[in-house]
Amino acid sequence: MNYSVVIVDDHYLLSQAIGGLVQGFKNFDVLYLCKNGQELLDKFEEPKNIPDLVLMDIKMPILNGIETTEILKADYPKIKVLALSIEEDEYTILKMLHAGARGYLLKDTKKEILEEALIEIMQNGQYHTNTVSRILMDSLENKGGLDLKEKEIEFIKLACTDMSYKEIAEAMCCSPKTVENYRQSIRKKTGIKNRVGLVLFAIHHNMFTP
């Protein structure tokens, strides 16, 4: 069985190159290319154009990758999204995962990693880089000893949103200093050093569903 893939990227030559790579992968067929999210949604007016997976850029005109992924999550939940972008800041990755992306790769990734990511997402529902996977596996192995407190779990769930730490403090009815204490405590227990890793940890332990 072959999986259908659509490439959404406003840089046409790059989009063509990525499409050529994916077409060469076993069990994957590229349906078509789009230059932005709106063009993709317009294509969906014909059911035959709805793919199994979308490779999604983030910065695009008219309808960007985050906005488009949110729409797909709400209206086409069976479609899986893999972000493929040059953006590597934590906030952007967090926003994309929260929007519903099943994985996040940088555009300079090796083609073998891209193929691995496509297979993992279609077979297991999500893909994380080796570094993040090691963090998650270490956390899973130590889950019984984590002893997360109720307030720490509440903080983790709120950290999976796009709220700032100040807004999280307000939502938890506590001071920013207390929120920082929760963050440091969770870091000591899990070994997770950034917010993206925390979101992936929450997904892995069924605390949060993107």
Q: Does the predicted model carry a pTM greater than 0.75?
A: no
User: Could you tell me which of 16, 14, 19, 71 has the C-alpha nearest to residue 40?
Assistant: 71
The segments of the chain whose pLDDT lies below 50 read 131-133, 135-136, 139-145
Three-state DSSP class for 183?
Answer: helix
User: What is the pLDDT, as a whole number, of residue 145?
Assistant: 46
Sketch out the chain's domains with CATH numbers.
Answer: 3-127 (3.40.50.2300), 132-204 (1.10.10.10)
User: What is the pLDDT, as a whole number, of residue 129?
Assistant: 66
Torsion of CA 33, 36, 40, 42, to 10 degrees: -120
User: What is the pLDDT, as a whole number, of residue 104?
Assistant: 86
User: What is the pLDDT, as a whole number, of residue 140?
Assistant: 47
User: Could you tell me which of 89, 141, 110 has the C-alpha nearest to residue 21?
Assistant: 110
User: Could you tell me which of 87, 85, 112, 5 has the C-alpha nearest to residue 49?
Assistant: 5
User: What is the pLDDT, as a whole number, of residue 210?
Assistant: 64
User: What is the pLDDT, as a whole number, of residue 82?
Assistant: 92
The β-bridge relationship of strands 28-34 and 103-106 is unpaired
User: What is the pLDDT, as a whole number, of residue 187?
Assistant: 83
